[in-house]
Amino acid sequence: MTADIFARVQHILTIIKEEKIENAVELESFRIKYVGSKNEIKGLFGEIKHIENDRKKEFGQLLNDVKQAAEEKYEAFKSRLLELDEVQSGTFLDLTAPCAPIPAGSRHPVSIVLNRIIQIFERIGFVVAEEREIEDDWYNFTAMNTPEDHPARDMQDTFYLKGSTKELLRTHTSSVQARLMTTQKPPIRIIAPGRVYRNETISSRSHCQFHQVEGLYIDKNVSFADMKQTLLYFAREMYGAETEIRLRPSFFPFTEPSAEMDVYWGLKNEDDYRITKGTGWLEILGCGMVDPNVLINCGIDPEEYSGFAFGMGIERQAMLQFKITDIRQLFENDTRFLKQFVGIV
């Protein structure tokens, strides 16, 4: 009798293990038979009382094995069928699958060149200073020694805010010089990148908005030679170790003496003749010793301190670097244009 029932339960265990489940209907009948509330195994637990005492424990163990085997098989097939179902309906989510590559963006050519310039000056101790684009005419013009009747102040050249003769869109980053000199004590050693605005007709060569980087160094005993070496270092880092520069006398209201710096670009091909107007030299920036009037306007004693300043445009350098022939492309955000700069830092 005991041996019989042991054999029966063993047989059920084998059947459970070998049972084929291929669809939801088969899974459901398996569930009813072996897992559900009225399953076959439950009834067998009632048989324990007929088992000889010394084998009761063994029988109980066997029944538990059967119960566990049935539950495990049911769970395994249930999730397998669910997966199959999701695959067929297209809703299956395989969390182990490698993900779709995240499309890489690209830096804007203006940012690429701007970042290079910033890094070069940061290496010799200049810190970045950023200021407002909507300026007061005092910081943009008056403090910078630009007289009231200077043509740059004209509505034709400068964007004033509606109804205002004081608030304007800054025409150069030189306004940052005045902002800093009125709020900080020397030594001051900054570069100020940013956007500037001028009321110019938009063409392939000029735009009403563009970017500049301003440099300012104020301390005791700062000389023209310091400026020249700083700018030579910049030119060689930016355009190659052999780069030659020249300083041409020039005029800016806020520097005295003033100069424009050219780098030697060369005349290797026809493009070089066009870009440099046949001279081989390219104008890169304006610079000079900070005019004592500017120092006085900003509350710095010109007897104690001196300094140099420079300002350069970014767009033209970006156009040279990447052979861009129309400045407007830099402001149109056409992704076909921007995608060409993927991977350039």
Tell me the CA end-to-end span of the chain in Å, nearest whole number: 85
Residue 121 or 252: the one with the smaller Cβ distance to ligand PHE is 252
Give the shortest CB-336-to-ligand PHE separation in angstroms.
32
Q: Which residue is nearest to ligand PHE (CB)?
A: 311
**Rounded to 5, what percent of the chain is helix, strand, coil?**
45, 20, 35
CA-CA distances (angstroms) from residue 273 to 69, 102, 261, 278, 298? 87, 43, 19, 4, 43
CB atoms within 10 A of CB 298: 20
Residue 59 or 252: the one with the smaller Cβ distance to ligand PHE is 252
Residue 77 or 260: the one with the smaller Cβ distance to ligand PHE is 260
Nearest to 305 by CA among 163, 189, 158: 189
Q: Does 193 bind ligand PHE (CB under 6 A)?
A: no
Which residues in 212-271 contact ligand PHE (CB under 6 A)? 214, 252, 255
181, amino acid identity = M
Which residues in 278-337 contact ligand PHE (CB under 6 A)? 286-288, 309-311
Residue 255 or 276: the one with the smaller Cβ distance to ligand PHE is 255
Give the shortest CB-286-to-ligand PHE separation in angstroms.
3
**In the structure encoding, which two tokens stand for residue 85, read together?**
């179902």
Q: Does 186 bind ligand PHE (CB under 6 A)?
A: no
**In the structure encoding, which two tokens stand for residue 338, read together?**
């921007």
Q: Does 172 bind ligand PHE (CB under 6 A)?
A: yes
CA-CA distances (angstroms) from residue 246 to 41, 231, 280, 288? 98, 10, 12, 13
Residue 291 or 324: the one with the smaller Cβ distance to ligand PHE is 291
* Residues making contact with ligand PHE (CB under 6 A): 172, 174, 214, 252, 255, 286-288, 309-311
